[in-house]
Amino acid sequence: MNDIVLSAKHIMKTYKLPSGNIKVLNDFSIDIKRSEHIAIVGKSGSGKSTALHILGTLDKPDKCAETSINFTSVGELTRLSENRKALLRAEKIGFVFQTYHLMPEMNIVDNVALPNMALRKRNPNVRERAIALLKAVGLGERLEHKPLELSGGEQQRVAVARALINSPELILADEPTGNLDPATGESILDLLFSLSSRIPQLDENEEAAPPALLIVTHTPQIAQKCDRILTLDNGVLN
């Protein structure tokens, strides 16, 4: 089995503004191994979130003959249609954002189950799985509550459960603790690490590898919990 989940090579990203061009990523390359936890750190505006969004097909790199983003189980992502990218995100990638991105009109069970609706083959037991994940994140008594009835930390717990609903191969977390106080943020991160490692057991598939995790953060304490720490500076990853 190939140990690499995603391999990105020579990514460039430039924003064209009236005041001039801003190069955000300059020959950005990264290999993400199965079950590996990686932190990307860097000052504000260094391109961390842009890199994560490109890896997750939420944004596009500049056109360049040398650019490649290869998801091992899928193939070259830069050649996919927008519909195929959307399906990839639903099937293979779990996202955790700083601002939760929950649907306010839905209860938290339906929020967690929502990504399953995008799959070609939906899980008929998705509601039961959503409930199991919510119990695992400590929200078993709040299942009928809507997001705005929860605290920020509780909403991020819902977001963690949602990211894992389709058993992704890769989780992309963009400043997942940025809106939380330090203690709550640390508990959310510990939960993300521990729960993602238990996905094979929840799926009753002991041979499966837990998802890889790529975290964008400016907090050293969070980065130190990861297997690797990479620094993005002036668009270059070190």
**CA–CA gap between residue 157 and residue 214 (Å, rounded):** 17
Residues 157-179 have pLDDT tens digits of 999 999 999 999 999 999 999 88
CATH architecture under which domain 35-49+81-237 falls:
3-Layer(aba) Sandwich (3.40)
pLDDT at 234: 85
List, in sequence order, every residue forming a beta bridge with 14; answer none if it has no partner. Answer: 23
Band of residue 238 on the pLDDT scale cut at 50, 70, 90: confident
pLDDT band of 206, cuts 50, 70, 90? low
* pLDDT score of 111 more than 90: yes
Q: What is the mean pLDDT of residues 203-209?
A: 73
**Tens-place pLDDT, residues 63-89:** 998 999 999 999 999 999 999 999 999
Asked which of 101-105, 117-121, 180-184 is least confident by mean pLDDT, the reply is: 117-121
Burial zone of 161 (CB within 10 Å; 0-12 exposed, 13-18 middle, 19+ buried): buried
Is the pTM for the entire model greater than 0.85?
yes
CB-based contacts of 29, cutoff 8 Å, min separation 6: 8, 9, 10, 11, 237
Mean pLDDT throughout 170-195? 92
Question: Sheet harboring 236-237: ordered strands across?
Answer: 93-97, 170-174, 212-216, 37-41, 228-233, 236-237
The domain locations on the chain are: 35-49+81-237
Lowest-confidence pick of 7-16, 126-135, 146-155, 201-210 = 201-210
Residue among 17, 23, 77, 28 at smallest CA distance from 238: 28
Question: If you average pLDDT over every residue of the chain, what do you get?
Answer: 92
